[in-house]
């Protein structure tokens, strides 16, 4: 589901500062409290965290009468593998035309008087998971002189030992989500013991920066999971989001708040995707049990069909829609 945000092509006003890792990334005419972060080897920064959402805007004035959709498809397919863009038959965020990128991987929009000569793309978590070469995508965005309008960077703790909901709440009380004297906004979505997962929000979109800490495994349907995700969302509101966040996401996440400076455990993106596939499959099996479980009981115990006969009767070609974004990782499910 796409959440409304301010028009990306109009976020040029004011004197923006730069999303920083804690180092001296700010223009000389601005001041900002510097946050020390762990020293991280450049070869491991991608493993500390991953990009979980990306929005960017490109000026397409030079295309002339060329079809923006066809141009983008040809340019972006080698970077993402996407080739299906479904027509919404309506605009989006002030743009006249929009398309849904296959299987919930994102959205593309262009055209319209107020968004003249720009094209905007949003990649969801599923869309970002499909990107296998972030340096190559970064190089393309730089060459296109794109503007990053939103980026979410996430760190996963599959066991919930180094970061979890209770720790996040304690760090909030200890002031480790504060970068100044003012107390940040905070909000807790509590599942009240239902096992659907809790989420802690710190900060807000109106300021262009927000922390989310949530029980990712439970969100995906595993009520006993300890998998916890720490995620920071930046928007280009009075700030410049540098291309470096795409290739060194762990450094920027660690420098976003004092609470996250601990991030140093090596992350394995493949392990994260494997876990997502496993939880999604289990949830799909649970749904299938509700849908056809009684029928299978009748076929097996009353009609005396063999397992092979049941398989032949019910099996269909293809992959369920909820698993399509993970199709390249399906062989990992259950593997050690």
Q: For residue 329, what pLDDT is reported? A: 52
The residues with which 204 forms a beta bridge, in sequence order, are: 209
Q: For residue 324, what pLDDT is reported? A: 58
d(CA 200, CA 214): 6
Q: For residue 24, what pLDDT is reported? A: 31
d(CA 310, CA 264): 49
Whether 84 and 102 have beta carbons less than 8 Å apart is answered as yes
Chunked mean pLDDT (size 10), the chain, 336 residues: 40 44 36 34 54 97 91 94 88 93 93 89 94 95 96 94 94 88 90 96 90 96 95 88 90 86 51 61 78 86 88 82 59 48
Q: For residue 210, what pLDDT is reported? A: 95
Among residues 83, 84, 111, which one has the least CA distance to residue 98? 111
Exposed e or buried b per residue across 177-192, where buried means at least 16 C-beta atoms within 10 angstroms of its C-beta: bbbeeeebeeeeeeee
Q: For residue 268, what pLDDT is reported? A: 39
d(CA 246, CA 51): 7
Q: For residue 286, what pLDDT is reported? A: 77
Which pair of structure tokens corresponds to residue 34? Answer: 């510097």
Measure Cα distances from 87 to 69, 74, 100, 122, 292 in Å. 11, 17, 7, 15, 33
Among residues 334, 333, 328, 335, which one has the least CA distance to residue 131? 328
Which pair of structure tokens corresponds to residue 143? Answer: 């060459």
Does the pTM of the predicted model rise above 0.85? no
d(CA 307, CA 301): 11
Give the position of tokens 């978590």.
Answer: 125
Q: For residue 178, what pLDDT is reported? A: 85
Q: Which residues contact 222 (CB under 8 A, 6 or more apart)?
A: 279, 282, 283
d(CA 98, CA 91): 5
DSSP assignment, residue 185?
Answer: P
The residues with which 118 forms a beta bridge, in sequence order, are: 59
pLDDT digits (tens, 9 = 90+) for 82-108: 888 999 889 999 999 999 999 899 999
Q: Please report the beta strands in 215-285, taking only residues with DSSP state E, as ranges in sequence order.
A: 228-235, 239-240
Whether 185 and 202 have beta carbons less than 8 Å apart is answered as yes
Measure Cα distances from 74 to 63, 79, 89 in Å. 13, 10, 22
DSSP state string for 118-136: EEEEEE-HHHHHT---HHH
């Amino acid at each position: 589901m796409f959440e409304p945000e301010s028009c990306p092509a109009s976020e040029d006003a004011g004197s923006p500062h730069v999303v920083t890792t804690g180092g001296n990334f700010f223009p000389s005419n601005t001041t900002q409290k510097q946050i020390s972060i762990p020293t991280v080897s450049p070869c491991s920064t991608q493993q500390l965290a991953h990009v979980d959402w990306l929005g960017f805007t490109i000026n397409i004035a030079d295309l002339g009468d060329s079809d923006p959709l066809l141009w983008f498809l040809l340019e972006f397919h080698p970077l993402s593998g996407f080739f299906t863009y479904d027509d919404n038959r309506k605009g989006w965020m002030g743009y006249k035309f929009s398309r849904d990128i296959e299987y919930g991987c994102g959205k593309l929009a262009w055209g319209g008087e107020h968004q003249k000569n720009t094209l905007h793309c949003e990649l969801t978590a599923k869309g970002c998971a499909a990107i296998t070469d972030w340096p190559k995508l970064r190089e393309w965005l730089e060459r296109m002189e794109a503007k990053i309008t939103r980026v979410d960077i996430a760190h996963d703790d599959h066991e919930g030992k180094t970061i979890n909901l209770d720790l996040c709440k304690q760090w909030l009380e200890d002031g480790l989500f504060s970068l100044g004297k003012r107390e940040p906004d905070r909000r807790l979505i509590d599942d009240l013991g239902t096992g659907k997962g809790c989420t802690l929000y710190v900060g807000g979109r109106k300021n262009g920066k927000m922390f989310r800490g949530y029980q990712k495994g439970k969100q995906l349907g595993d009520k006993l999971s300890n998998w916890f995700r720490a995620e920071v969302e930046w928007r280009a509101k009075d700030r410049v989001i540098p291309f470096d966040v795409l290739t060194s996401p762990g450094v920027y996440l660690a420098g976003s708040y004092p609470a996250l400076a601990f991030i140093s455990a090596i992350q394995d993106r493949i392990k994260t995707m494997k876990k997502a596939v496993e939880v999604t499959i289990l949830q799909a099996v649970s749904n299938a049990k509700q849908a056809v479980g009684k029928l299978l009981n009748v076929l097996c115990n009353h009609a005396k069909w063999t397992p092979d006969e049941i398989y032949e009767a019910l099996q269909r070609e293809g992959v369920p829609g909820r698993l399509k974004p993970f199709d390249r990782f399906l062989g990992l499910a259950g593997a050690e």
